[in-house]
Structure 1
Amino acid sequence: MTSTDTRPTAGPDPSPSRASAWTALKPLILRLHFYAGILIAPFLLVAASTGLLYAASFQIEQVAHRHELTVPVGEQRLPLTQQVAAAQAARPDGKVTAVRTPEAADASTRVLMDVPGLPESTQLAVFVDPYTGQVRGTLDSYGGSGALPVRAWISHLHRHLHLGEPGRLYSELAASWLWVVALGGLTLWVTRRRGARRLRGLLAPDRSLPGARRRLSWHGSVGLWAVLGLLFLSATGLTWSTYAGENVGEVRTALGWTTPAVTTSSGDHAAHAGEGVHRHGGPAVSVDQVARAGAGEGLSGPLEIVWPAEPGAPYVIKEIDKTVPQRLDQVAVDAGSGQVTAVLRFSDYNLAAKLTQWGIDGHMGLLFGLANQIVLMLLAAGAITLIVLGYRMWWQRRPTRGFGEPYPRGGWHRLGWAVLVPLILLVVAVGWFLPLMGLSLLAFLAVDVLLGLRARATQQEGA
């Protein structure tokens, strides 16, 4: 990574006439792609490897927890009230917060409970046979997707390596740089192959090339096929990040792009949740009445019926089928009268909210079911391939083997002010919006300057 370039560090060319904009920019893009590849690729490799495992976790979960998730198909399902009572009898220490209806004829009902001692964002899921009322087991359920222990463990591995909030920095760093690496590689590959004027030269590797050039051909072709997916994963991954995600949230709020929620404010006819009686003395509605109220608004399973969060609050019924065509409507039902008090249709979401929902579901492998998960696994495998090939190419042509500096510094000197100033402003803006990327870029620049100074000192001593 050392350099023998000892040209004077003059300022930028006041006129870009000495070279085209691309001729001047290419060394900068090449060096940035190189540095990111060397120093950020380990984080990307971990993210891709754990992401591949997460994409397969849905099938792993079905196998690992098959006993709790599946039941023999019976003739008639019991009322939800009876199924919830069976769960409460099995775990009297738990407070029911929601119930998820079966998504298939051979699926169990999932009764969710708050139980003391569980980690944050985790509830206890009691699995009930909807035909017999038998409790088939209990498992921890994590997050809104209801991830069970195996998938939750893999999810935490991918998100923060089981290190908690500090561990999330690795995934944010990877997501912050992924789009830069992908776009830089795409630009370099397309411009390199432009002279061949053959689409095949871009899309397919040339196996007839020798050694390093053949690996470069594979690197470029695989990257071209994967670039759109990698950009998608980078953008959606940043929404979960700590610092960049906060900035994304502020932008969405400022532009009115937040995801709407069904109205749950208390009304004159709301019941005191958990008291079992209507405010006016009548009996409180049962969960079966709540389900029927939702069905009357066109909601169909699988459903999640959420218990009132506080006295006077309504039940909330949510469609939770995230596979296209999605069913994500919600209704609020008065806990005392059983009347629908609010309806929220997914079709009424604004475009930004829909894109956010689709992006999150696609990143998690939910949007298109198994096909979505296979595509994610292929993208992860492609990213791993790109990283391995990139390291292989650098290792074979590293400066210590006598090849010199393949990625020369000082390219910014060739830029005119008309190009350099907007470029600096763009870098500053991106660095502010993506703080970990900005800080790591400053670290790259510091390392580059120190290596340049060392190389210059070494050459002067030898002169």
Structure 2
Amino acid sequence: MSTTSNAPTDGTPPAGSPDRVPTPAPSGEATSTAVAAGAAPAGNGGATGRRTRSGWWPLLTRLHFYAGVLVAPFLLVAALTGLAYTAVPQLDRLVYSEQLRVEKVGDAAKPLTEQVAAARKAHPEGGIASVVPPEAPDHTTKVVLSVPELAEQDKQRTVYVDPYTGEVRGALTTWAGSTPLATWLDDLHRHLHLGETGRLYSELAASWLWVLVLGGLLLWFGRRRTYTGSARRNTVLPERGARGVRRSRSLHAITGVWISVGLLVLSATGLTWSAHAGERFTELRTSLSAYPSELDTSASGASGADGSSGHDHSGGHEAAASGGLPAGLTVDQVLEKARAAGLDGPVEVSTPADDKSTWTVVQTDGVWPVRLDQAAVDPHSGEITARVDWADHPVLAKLSTLGVRAHMGTLFGLANQVVLAVIALGLTVGIVLGYRTWWQRRPTRGDRRAQVGRAPARGAWRHLPWPSLAVAVPLIVAVGWAFPLLGWSLLAFLVLDALLGLLHRRRAGRPAVHA
């Protein structure tokens, strides 16, 4: 439901009407579809000389058509790059098996302190930022180093150590724990390796995706709400015996229906970390106090003089910068204290930022049911000085975290990856079918030949009731403010369409009628 319109291109009855094609329709289809769509005499955009709520249908049809035609290329790129990203876990295992996996699982792992020493001997550069114990018996230990030249790029050097032999298996430049390949695919999906400017493409796609999906659902189900018997089957399954444009339109719509929920989730979660709409979301969360408490990592139990708290991985680590771990408890003892405090499963143990800070132990299990508790451990006494539990996060913060992990394909493991792949493939197929429908609807008579079908007729808004317009206009303005790229691109569409309409009318010698 995210590409071209199901609507007529020349003001004739709706796309679902048998008046458009010679293929026989189910009994009663012509009447019910025309009534539901608010069909009107051809060529006048549904005008009947009076204002009626049925005018919303041609207006929605025109919006869905234009948005689909113009935004579908961005959605196609997002779908294909997202499809590639869903395979990251498998690609990592294939490409980085030497670093991520051990050759032979031993009986007992060496102390983390010895593994860190082996990593530092091979890579003495920078300081130790954190240590990630193996998540599974056949995984390596990760020793994450903060290297100044990489920290400027918000990246780290991760050294991989065999936990049973202490052998260094290799080192990679990582970002937030992601391998170079995963980082490359993530950047491709988010901004096409074009930096902040490239992020506009993905935000534009996500901003319009929910509009296209909801508009498509309204058009498809709204025009079929009076169907009965076997005809109702065609609302959720491809139309039997349909051919040509009718078949393409049916497949386009049904594909959108089946993946619509997934598309809406991807649109919402993608917008939460976008550049402009994401800023609006951040403002909303701040106003609602919907952020979890920051973990207090000051050894005294209070924030620093500047009022800040938390742990910085991008620089600092004065205590670890000399090449070794801080004095006091060993990393094994810190991990033992955290385990005793209930932080089980996969964790990351981060070194103190300075001699006045604590160790930080964070659960990293992002698979449902997630385990994301955090604890601060005093480097000398081993006391748990502070903790932030997942159960105490505000609801909106939980939903945001879970949504992002689902979007990245990690929340439900392999099943999550498969669902995302199906949605990406479905969106790709829907886009192709939408363009095919547009092409198949082109005029083919000798005096009306064209490369593609014409857009739905202009002027539908002129026949809407004033109360509807009074509600719709402020609502559209509010949506445009919440989703800036949606608002600006919609305005650009309207201006361009008005100019084209004015040019067309002047050439035809008729008064202009705008979108």
Counting only pairs closer than 5 Å after superposition, residues 106-255 of structure 1 correspond to structure 2 as 106-118=138-150, 120-143=153-176, 146-197=177-228, 198-255=231-288
Shift of 1:432: 1.0
Measured in 1, the distance between the counterparts of 2:484 and 2:79 equals 22
Tell me if structure 1 keeps the 8 A contact 2:301–2:385: no
| 1: CA distance, partners of 2:168 / 2:101 | 12
Question: Structure 1: any 5+ residue segments left out of the alignment?
Answer: 277-281
SS at match of 1:341: strand
Q: Using a 3 Å threshold, how does the CA distance of structure 1 residues 268 and 298 change in structure 2: closer, same or farther?
A: closer
Following superposition, the deviation at residue 263 of structure 1 comes to: 2.1
2:35 matched residue in structure 1: none
Matched, 1:89 2:121: yes
Does the 8 Å contact 2:299/2:357 carry over to 1?
Answer: yes
Please give the secondary structure, in 2, of the residue aligned with 1:40. Answer: helix
Cα root mean square deviation, aligned? 2.6
2:298 is matched with: 265
- The answer to whether the Cα contact below 8 Å between 2:51 and 2:465 also exists between their aligned partners in 1 is no
1:3 deviates by 7.6
- Does the aligned pair in 1 maintain the 2:76–2:427 contact within 8 Å? yes
> Once the two structures are superposed, what CA deviation does each residue of 1:131-160 show, in whole Å capped at 9, x if it has no partner?
1110000011112xx110111111110011
Residues 414 and 313 (structure 1), Cα distance of their counterparts in 2 relative to 1, 3 Å cut: same
CA contact (8 A) 1:334 1:340 kept: yes
Alignment of 1:41-440 (within 5 A): 41-71=72-102, 72-118=104-150, 120-143=153-176, 146-197=177-228, 198-267=231-300, 274-275=318-319, 284-398=328-442, 401=449, 405-440=454-489
| Corresponding residue number in structure 1 for 2:39 | none
- How many residues get paired? 447
Partners in 2 of 1:139 and 1:322 — Cα distance? 22
Structure showing greater relative contact order (alpha-carbon pairs closer than 8 Å, 6 or more residues apart): 1
TM-score normalised according to structure 1 size: 0.91
* C-alpha spacing 1:451/1:178, structure 2 compared with 1 (3 Å): same
Distance in structure 1 (CA, Å) of the matches to 2:253 and 2:337? 56
Amino acid at match of 1:104: A
Question: SS where residue 232 of structure 1 aligns?
Answer: helix
Residue 275 of structure 1: CA displacement?
4.6
* Distance in 1 between residues matched to 2:86 and 2:431, nearest whole Å: 19
- 1:455 is aligned to 2:504: yes
1 CA distance for matches of 2:461 and 2:120?
A: 68
In the alignment, structure 2 segments of 5+ residues that lack a partner are 1-7, 12-41, 304-315, 321-325, 511-515
Higher-helix-fraction structure:
1
| TM-aligned CA deviation for residue 311 of structure 1 | 3.1
Is this contact kept in 2: 1:101–1:301, CA < 8 A?
Answer: no
SS at match of 1:318: strand
TM-superposed deviation, 1:195: 3.2
| Conserved? CA contact 1:112–1:126, under 8 Å | yes
Q: Take 1:431 and 1:229, find their aligned partners in 2: how far apart are those partners?
A: 23
CA distance in 1, matches of 2:175, 2:476: 38
1-side partners of 2:405 and 2:499: how far apart?
44
CA gap of 1:315–1:199, structure 2 versus 1, over 3 A, is: farther
Quote the offset at 1:358 in angstroms.
0.7
* Matched-pair contact (CA < 8 Å) for 2:128–2:351: yes
Give the whole-Å Cα distance in 2 for the aligned partners of 1:237 and 1:58: 20
TM-score, scaled relative to structure 2: 0.82
